[in-house]
Amino acid sequence: MEFKHVPVLLDEVIEGLNIKENGYYVDCTIGGGGHSYEIIKRLTNLGHLYGFDRDIDAIRHCNEKFKNFKNVTLIHSNFKNAYQILLENGINKIDGFLIDLGVSSYQIDNPQRGFSIIHDGTLDMRMDIEQKLTAKDVVNTYGKDKLIEILYNYGEEGNAKKIVENIIKARKISPIETTGQLKEIIENSFPKKVIYGKGGVSKKTFQAIRIEVNEELSGLDKTLLSLINMLKSGGRGAVLTFHSLEDRIVKNIFKRESLDCICPPKMPICMCNHHASIKLINKKPIEASKEELKLNSRSSSAKLRVIEKL
């Protein structure tokens, strides 16, 4: 299957990063290379882009896409390792970073990757196909309490208990192997009168299991702080989020690092010795325009936050 992905909020991301032609940039989740291509176009031979992705298919695609560029380094790794890998390669300061936390269109549209609610396929959901844990393992081996916790915390699913009860019943008969099977179990956990919205009633559960499989929220805060630390003065960081859990982490980190004091409000004098390291370029998240929503419905939940290093 050809690797296709439409970059979300492309113009807004590029404008937010305020590209310096001789700068060093990091695309932490390079995907189809859409955002990266626009960054590279604005760089001279003295500038450089480091692109990370845990999906080997994305790295292979971008190796071909950028084969004529000399100022690109692609690295097959989780972006949470970016700070250490960059240091090991002699890079301790950068002019900008981008983190796109969305699942790529290629991953969603390829049934064998197991992300899609629409296309029936293997119950997988791994962003890195070399890792061991799959969605099938989570659904078929996790205990009842753990599954309820995952659906409630990662999917904010109010019907978690009933869904998990039905998952347990089904897997006792035979293993749950496909996304279609899981979707049917979830839908049967709701009253027939429930009106299915966009993505249906399965969306929250699929999101929760995907987050668990890929440990999407774990370490995100530390990674943001390490990348902020690497920014040169005037350098910028941009983060695209697609659900409230990850956006809350990004929002809180950016807000905290933009303040000169983080003491409790009732503290009579400052005792924290904290100093702002960044300023917020946009206090409210940037969302897709009506024009973009018409062209790419998957941009509907996207939120862009941009900061600048002081």
Of the residues 214, 229, 245, the one at which a domain ends: 214
| pLDDT tens by residue, 155-194 | 999 999 999 999 999 999 999 999 999 999 999 999 877 7
Q: How far apart are alpha carbons 50 and 230 in whole angstroms? A: 14
Q: What is the pLDDT of residues 88-98, one digit of tens each?
A: 999 999 999 99
Torsion of CA 285, 286, 289, 293, to 10 degrees: -60
Last residue of a domain, one of 154, 184, 214: 214
Last residue of a domain, one of 168, 189, 214: 214
Global model pTM greater than 0.95: no
Burial of 254 (0-12, 13-18, 19+ CB in 10 A): buried
CATH of the domain at 174: 1.10.150.170
- Same domain, yes or no: 153 and 202: yes
Per the structure, the complete domain to which residue 221 belongs is given by: 10-101+217-309
- At 247-292, the pLDDT tens digits run 999 999 999 999 998 888 888 888 888 899 999 999 899 999 999 9
* Domain presence at residue 5: no
Question: Residue 109: inside a domain, yes or no?
Answer: no
Tell me, yes or no, whether 201 and 240 share the same domain. no
The CATH number for 244's domain is 3.40.50.150
